[in-house]
Amino acid sequence: MTGAVDITVNTLDVTMAVVVGGLFAIGFHLMLQRSLMRIVLGFILLGHGTNMLLLVAGGTPGLPPVLEGRPVDPAEPADPLPQAMALTSIIITFGLTAFLMALAYRSWRLSGSDEVRDDVEDRRIDIALQRAGADEVTGPPEGPGGNGPDDGPGSGPGDGSEPGGEGDGDAPDHRDDDDTAPGDHR
């Protein structure tokens, strides 16, 4: 056959591909967790997976890239670019890991937990969207104060029943369920 290319798959290449894929899968899974330490560990695994991917992309090992002035066949030496990119990736991963660990420690010191809580504003938006979806099904409220036939007395605007109102359970100082503000436990 003309034009046929013989592609041989090395066992080491397949093993490295599986390891890189596993590191990326576990790293992404950990980064989707709510614990800050798991997020940091997921980022570390992603960094290791990236380093291994860059080294695998360099191809099979060859001669050193610097050959001390002797003539060289271009197919023999190893490509220095993936090695340089892997070293750069190691430095970047180390710096970001130190930064993320400092943020996680600071968050733990302030809240006493390393779990990421839901954002108050996200909950308010979700409640508003749910109410808007209910209005589409039941129709707009009737009457001048927004009191429809199904609304109880005092459920109009300004009575604290709307998201962000005075009667909402989320105070602006973001107190926990046990009525302690972040940092009160120290």
**Structural domains of the chain, count:** 1
31 occurs within a structural domain: yes
> Residue 27's pLDDT is what?
95
* Domain limits for position 120: 10-61+80-142
Rounded distance between C-alpha atoms, residue 76 and residue 157, angstroms: 77
176 occurs within a structural domain: no
The H-assigned helical ranges of 34-172 are 36-57, 80-111, 120-138
* DSSP structure class, residue 7: -
Rounded distance between C-alpha atoms, residue 145 and residue 154, angstroms: 9
Residue with the bigger pLDDT between 50 and 80: it is 50
- Whole-prediction pTM: 0.57
120 occurs within a structural domain: yes
**pLDDT digits 0-9 by tens, 9-26:** 778 788 888 999 999 999
169 occurs within a structural domain: no
5 occurs within a structural domain: no
Rounded distance between C-alpha atoms, residue 52 and residue 16, angstroms: 8
Using 50, 70 and 90 to split pLDDT, how confident is the model at 49? Answer: very high
**pLDDT digits 0-9 by tens, 81-127:** 888 888 999 999 999 999 999 999 998 999 888 888 878 888 888 88
79 Cβ contact list (under 8 Å, min separation 6): 58, 59, 65
Percent of the chain with pLDDT over 70: 58
User: Domain containing 116 — which CATH number?
Assistant: 1.10.287.3510
136 occurs within a structural domain: yes
> Residue 164's pLDDT is what?
47
**pLDDT digits 0-9 by tens, 124-153:** 888 898 888 876 666 555 655 555 445 445
